[in-house]
A and B are shown apart, each in its own frame.
Chain A
Amino acid sequence: MNAPIVNTGLMNEIANLSLSRRGFLRGLAAGSFVLATGIRPARAQETKYGAEAMSGGLKDDPRIFLAIADDGTVSLLCHRAEMGQGVRTSWAMVVADELEAELDRVRVLQAPGDEARFGNQNTDGSRSMRHHFQALRRIGAAARQMLEQEAAGRWKVPVAEVRAERHEVVHAASGRRIGFGELARAAALRPVPAADALVFKRPADFRYIGRDGVALVDNLDITTGKAVYGIDARIEGMAYAVIARPPVYGGKVKRFDATRALQVPGVVKVVPIEETPIPSAFQPLGGVAVIADNTYAAIKGRAQLDIEWDDGPNAGYDSAAYRAALEAASRQPGKVVRSNGDVDTALAGAARRVEASYYVPHLAQAPMEPPTATARVTAELCEVWCSVQNPEAIRADLSKRFGLPLENVIVNTLLLGGGFGRKSKPDFASEAAILSRALDGRPVKLTFTREDDLHNGYLHTVSVARLEAGLDAEGRPQAWLHRTVAPTIQSIFVPDAQQAGAFELAMGAVDMPLAIPNVRIENPPAPAHTRIGWFRSVSNIPHAFAIQSFVAELAAAAGRDPKDYLLQLLGPDRVIDPASVSDQWLYGEDPKRYAYDTARLRGVIERVAAEAGWGRSLPQGHGLGIAAHRSFVSYAAVVVEAAVDDEGRLTIPRVDIAFDCGAVINPDRVRAQLEGAVIQGISLATVGEISFKAGRVVQSNFHDYPVTRIDGAPKQIHTHLVTPTGFDAPLGGVGEPGLPPVAPALCNAIFAATGKRIRSLPIRDQLA
């Protein structure tokens, strides 16, 4: 077997690490691998929450994640995927702080998929810092104490007299100091302190945690083109492939002729891939692969394939007709998923009834790096290099597919050129592996073209929300009926699943926090006709769009200021028992720590209103809109200033976003995520739409699936982080929760500017 030819030393190291399984332990553990002792198993009858409830659980043994070389260089193994959220930098900040290491002497390596060893690796759900902050502190603190004990032992002084300080251990009384590098080998042999023996730094002493302006660990590589993304893997002798997949979900190859494709210079082989029946989960759609000496020859060869498709049961999928079907379903009663009080009686007795229907189309994540994977699969060993959010999922799949023991399947996670949920689904890694096996172990790089990415994706659902409220004489809602209709993500796993999952309903529908006495939420069925998948913020997008638009509509009906009205509806500060609103998920978190705290939503609403100058006088054609939403156990509120000119052209002079995610670990990356969420929210609100005709996606590339460009971005974005009260309070998510309030705030601003209410996304030319 040839060693991989890889682009950088880092890649080599990852490959060697994966193969040897012991490489990382040089330094701290001096070659002897002892299983973690610091993990506290949860009591059996206890319900697990948070990281403990995730597959693989949570690990915090420093010997798994840290190495310190003789020159003092600290290596940190990051086992969550980096997709732009900054996890590699933020994790290094936390560990360096508790370790009392200099951050510029910390190198971050990327762990291969191995949940038995590292704990949960599914980088999804805005969990990486939320679930790992305290574990990272334990890792750093434990290693620091091992270094301090080693130094104290050498100097024969009580350990209480020494302390780690900037990459050295210092004995103040004698003025002695010794570097981490000199201590590391021996320190690694010392027992790992028990969790209850760990001493953490005081937040006042933090040098990185909570500090602004920390440089990204990958900055130099990114700005010089040396950063290695999934698409950049280069393995010696590899071939390049693209696949013609069924254009309709559930379709099959009826017959194909590869003659002309094989005549294209550089084409090596044409390989049919077996279709996976619906529901296909994360497995390949099937089709015909063209493998060549380079990507271009593969693309050119694919264009010469002659394929006749059997389109199967979804051949009639048509977005216009499907929208009408969703709207019809929303006018019929559906499965009741939350009920408080008596909505029908309250509606019947209302002084005024208001109803509205909202539509959000399918969306494609369209990360700038399309799905790509490189694989080398022999009879004994399967290796994959790819950018996936969940390396363990593909590892288990491949182990099963090739009948290989799990340890013979190595999944190397490279940088993700954006994920947004698309790369939670590792179908592309399976495809690459199948093709390498078909070439008897020759490595194959499989690339999705942009067209493939849009045509064969896992799309954000398409949804209709119908809301009806009964207002009393003062304009306050006494009844609230919400019907949410959308194909479910569960449909990719469960045959003909048509009802929303608890997790989808708990993303903003049932956990609606407004203090309304009579509430009923219903979920009429909706069949899926394409692969539905996670898209950043997921079901929070349509739920927040509908609810926060509707609240503004009710404010207008009541003749009230939208911000004051929203606060009034939110009601008195209270913590909402999730059971009382039939929230069966709560993002997997412990209700004792994470139940919905309406005071925090009020806090971000008041903050953003103050910062944005709510009520300020504006030029003609400008308007302010507000929206607020809790998701991923964080609280966000947005004020958009929209400007619409006489021709109906929309510009966005300013957006303010206030955010409460508990303690802020890396303020710069939190702000970056909020800036990005604002722009992605504006993108989906203004131009984002994937539609179907004859079962096929209509759009094919960025000309007809536009995403917001720099000239469509707000002129100013102001981020306002709610000041943390400390670092022991539970953390909220960061990557996703900024996005849901953006679209309704924008549409509310457009209403303020023009009097026109947008109920159907995208806005596109509705203002003309």
Chain B
Amino acid sequence: MTKFIVNGSSHQADGDPEMPLLWYLRDLAGLTGTKYGCGLGLCGTCTVLVDGRPARACLLAVGELEGRAITTIEGLSADGMHPVQEAWRQLNVAQCGYCQTGQIMQAAALLAKTPDPSDTEIDAAMSGNLCRCGTYPRIRAAIRQAAKGGAK
């Protein structure tokens, strides 16, 4: 059995310790904001924060999460008012929106570490997150906008 924190609440996983956090969140905890895209850490759609750092939930076995603090999109902010979420809405970044929860988590992690990233830093940090609709130009713009807002 493994105990960890998800969005501030205690969780314990007592099933298969090899189960990826992704399926624990989606199927067992009912937190479906974290999406499946590839299962191999190739697309970033399932990005969550583990102790504040971005990670792919499809690659994290629940058995290895003892004592960790997980933040999912549902816990990024109480009311959806994180600067990244606001910027995403102001610029209408989403098309289908499916990958955007992972994009937002990755962008939030980037800005936490690098409050005013260059375009090159944005592309480098976000290159693990696929979007099939092609929202990349607006993702770049929204990150720049969130960075600007955060600096005020």
> Which A residues fall within an 8 A CB radius of B?
7, 82-86, 213, 215-216, 218-220, 222-229, 231-232, 234, 240, 265-266, 294-297, 299-300, 366-370, 415-420, 447, 449-450, 668, 672-673, 675-680, 683, 701-703, 707-711, 713-717
Could you say which residues of chain B place their CB within 8 Å of the CB of A668?
Answer: 92
> Do the beta carbons of A368 and B40 come within 8 Å of each other?
no
Q: Mark B129-143, 1 if CB is under 8 A from A, else 0.
A: 111111111111000
Chain B residues with CB under 8 Å of A222's CB are 88, 94, 97, 100-101
Residues in B whose Cβ lies below 8 Å from that of A266: 15-16
Q: Which residues of B contact A82 (CB under 8 A)?
A: 96
Q: Is A86 touching B95 in the complex (CB atoms < 8 A)?
A: yes
Instruction: Give the dominant DSSP class at B's interface.
Output: loop
Inter-chain contact A232/B32, CB cutoff 8 Å: yes
Other contacts beyond A367-B132, A368-B99, A672-B92: 8, CB < 8 A: A84-B97, A215-B92, A231-B32, A265-B15, A294-B27, A368-B43, A370-B36, A707-B130
Interface pair A295/B27, CB less than 8 Å apart = yes
Could you name 17 residue pairs across A and B whose Cβ atoms are closer than 8 Å?
A216-B89, A220-B89, A223-B94, A223-B101, A225-B33, A227-B97, A296-B19, A368-B96, A369-B36, A369-B96, A369-B98, A672-B138, A675-B135, A675-B138, A676-B135, A713-B134, A713-B137
Q: Does B112 contact A (CB under 8 A)?
A: no
* Min C-beta distance of B22 to chain A, whole Å: 8
B123 close to A (CB within 8 Å): yes
CA A675 to CA B138, docked complex, whole Å: 9
**Shortest Cβ gap from A7 to chain B (Å):** 6
B129 touches A710 (CB 8 A): yes
Q: Does residue B85 face the partner (Cβ distance < 8 Å to A)? A: yes
- Contact between A234 and B130 (Cβ–Cβ < 8 Å)? no
Q: Pick from B35, B37, B126, B134: contact of A675, CB below 8 A.
A: B134
Q: Which residues of chain A are within 8 angstroms of B138 by Cβ–Cβ distance?
A: 672, 675
When distances are taken between beta carbons in the complex, the residues of chain A under 8 Å from B101 are: 222-223, 225
Report yes or no: A225 in contact with B32, Cβ–Cβ below 8 A: yes
Which chain B positions have C-beta within 8 A of A234? 30, 32
Q: How far is the CB of B109 from chain A (nearest CB, A)?
A: 15
Q: Is the CB of B23 within 8 A of A415?
A: no
**Are A85 and B95 closer than 8 Å at their CB atoms?**
yes
Does B97 contact A417, Cβ atoms closer than 8 Å? yes
Known contacts A224-B33, A231-B35, A366-B132, A416 near B96 by CB under 8 Å: yes
Q: Is B26 an interface residue (CB 8 A)?
A: yes
CB distance from B141 to the nearest CB of A (A): 11
Cβ of B85 and Cβ of A709 under 8 Å apart?
A: no
**Would A225 and B73 count as touching, CB distance under 8 A?**
yes
Contact B96 A367 (CB under 8 A): yes
**Residues of chain B in range 97-152 having any CB-CB distance to chain A below 8 Å:** 97-101, 104, 119, 122-124, 126-140
Contacts of A367 in B (CB 8 A): 96, 98, 132
Q: What CA separation (Å) do A478 and B89 show in the bound complex?
A: 53
Cβ of A485 to closest chain B Cβ, rounded Å: 28
Provided the pairs A294-B19, A676-B135, A680-B134 are in contact, do residues A450 and B37 lie with their beta carbons within 8 angstroms?
yes
Q: State the Cβ distance, A634 to closest chain B Cβ, in Å.
A: 18
CB of B67 within 8 A of chain A?
A: no
Chain A residues with Cβ under 8 A from B16's Cβ?
Answer: 265-266, 296-297, 300
Chain A residues within an 8 Å CB radius of B18: 296, 300
**Contact A710 B96, beta carbon cutoff 8 Å:** no
Contacts of A717 in B (CB 8 A): 137
Closest chain B residue to A681, Cβ basis: B134
Given the known interface contacts A219-B92, A240-B27, A710-B123, the answer about A676 and B134 at a Cβ–Cβ threshold of 8 Å is: yes
Which B residues are CB-close (under 8 A) to A213?
92
| CA gap between A7 and B31 in the complex, in Å | 9
> Is the CB of B52 closer than 8 A to any CB of chain A?
no
A675 to B98 CA separation, bound complex (whole angstroms): 17
B95 touches A223 (CB 8 A): no
Tell me which residues across on chain B come within 8 A of A240, comparing CB atoms.
27
How many angstroms from the CA of A400 to the CA of B38 in the assembled complex? 34
Lowest 9 A-B CB distances belong to which pairs?
A225-B33, A417-B98, A679-B134, A84-B96, A84-B95, A225-B73, A676-B134, A222-B97, A296-B23
- Neighbouring A residues of B74 by C-beta, 8 Å: 224-226
Beta-carbon contact of B45 and A368 below 8 Å: yes
Q: Which of B19, B28, B73, B96 sits near A415, CB closer than 8 Å?
A: B96
List of A residues within 8 angstroms of B43 by Cβ: 368, 450, 702
Centre residue among A265, A710, A716 by max chain B CB count within 10 A: A710
Contact indicator B136/A226 (Cβ below 8 Å): no
- The CA of A216 and the CA of B32, in the complex, are separated in Å by 21
A231-B36 contact in complex given A294-B23, A417-B96, A676-B134, C-beta closer than 8 Å: yes
Q: Which residues of B contact A701 (CB under 8 A)?
A: 38-40, 42
Q: Which of B15, B80, B92 contacts A224 (CB 8 A)?
A: B80
- Measured between beta carbons, the chain A residues less than 8 angstroms from B73 are 224-225
- The chain B residue sitting closest to A714, CB to CB, is B137
Closest Cβ of chain B to A635, distance in Å, is: 20
Among A240, A370, A673, A679, the one with the most B-chain Cβ atoms within 10 Å of its Cβ is A679
Q: Do A219 and B33 touch across chains, with their CB atoms under 8 A apart?
A: no
CB <8 Å contact, A368 and B130: yes
Which one of B88, B100, B129, B136 contacts A713 once the chains associate, using CB atoms below 8 Å?
Answer: B136
* Docked pose: A715 CA to B20 CA in angstroms: 35
Q: Is the pair A223, B80 in contact by a Cβ cutoff of 8 Å?
A: yes
Cα A762 to Cα B98 with chains together (Å) = 26
Of all chain A residues, the one with the shortest Cβ separation from B123 is A711
CB <8 Å contact, A711 and B134: no
Give every chain B residue within 8 A of A231 (Cβ-Cβ). Answer: 32, 35-36
Q: A334 to B13, alpha carbons, bound, how many Å?
A: 63
C-alpha spacing A59/B12, complex, angstroms: 52
A369 surroundings in chain B (CB, below 8 A): 35-37, 96, 98
For window 66-101 of chain B, which residues contact chain A by CB distance below 8 Å? 72-74, 76-77, 80, 85, 88-89, 92, 94-101
Contact status B98-A368, CB under 8 Å: yes
